[in-house]
Structure 1
Amino acid sequence: MQAKWAIALVMTAGLGAAMACTTSTPDVEAPVPDGVPDDVVLNPVDAPLRSPLADDALRQAEAEMQQRIQSDLDLLGLGKIGSVGSPISSELIAYRQAWAQTDPDIAPFLGTWEKEWDMIPHYFMTVFPSAVPGRVCLVRYSKQETVTVPFEIYNTPLEFSVGQVVDGQLLASNTQSARSLLRQVPVSDYESEFLATVEPTGNMQVYASQRPPAIAPTWPAVLMEQFRAAGCRG
Structure 2
Amino acid sequence: MTRKTIVLIAAFVALGTATVGLVTAIVTQRGLILPLNILDLLSIKFTTSEMIDSWFGLAGHNKLISPSELGEPLKSFRNQWAKTNPTVTPFLGLWHNDGDGFQSLHEAYFLSIFPSQVQGQVCVLEYKDRGLLDVSILSLSTAKVISGQLLSSRLRADKSTIVQKDFYNGYPVEGYPVEILPVLDGQNEIYIFSSRSPPQLPPGFPEDLTSKVKQKLSDRGCTMD
Alignment of 1:1-234 (within 5 A): 5=4, 37-38=9-10, 40=12, 41-42=15-16, 43-48=18-23, 49=26, 50-77=33-60, 79=61, 81=63, 83-117=65-99, 119-120=101-102, 122-144=108-130, 147=133, 156-188=136-168, 189-215=175-201, 218-219=208-209, 221-234=211-224
Q: Is the 8 A contact 2:55 2:64 kept in 1?
A: no
Structure 2: distance between partners of 1:212 and 1:80: 25
Structure 1: distance between partners of 2:165 and 2:141: 28
Q: Deviation string for 1:37-75 (max 9, x for gaps)?
A: 325241442324421011111111111111100112222
Structure 2: distance between partners of 1:134 and 1:87: 26
- Normalised to the residue count of structure 1, the TM-score between the two structures is 0.75
Letter in 2 for 1:198: L
Q: Please state how far the C-alpha of 1:183 moved relative to its aligned partner.
A: 1.4
Q: Please state how far the C-alpha of 1:230 moved relative to its aligned partner.
A: 1.3
Q: Is the 8 A contact 1:141 1:155 kept in 2?
A: no
Q: Deviation string for 1:139-182 (max 9, x for gaps)?
A: 111132654xxxxxx67242000101111100011101010221
Summarize the Cα distance change of 1:146–1:99 in structure 2 as closer, same or farther, 3 Å threshold.
Answer: same
**Hey, which of these two has a bigger chunk of helix by percent?**
2
- Normalised to the residue count of structure 2, the TM-score between the two structures is 0.77
Q: Is the 8 A contact 2:178 2:194 kept in 1?
A: yes
Summarize the Cα distance change of 1:72–1:116 in structure 2 as closer, same or farther, 3 Å threshold.
Answer: closer
Letter in 1 for 2:84: T
Structure 1 unaligned regions, length at least 5: 10-31, 148-153
Aligned pair count reads 198
For residue 87 of structure 2, give the secondary structure of its aligned residue in structure 1: coil
Give RMSD over aligned pairs: 2.7
For residue 73 of structure 2, give the secondary structure of its aligned residue in structure 1: helix
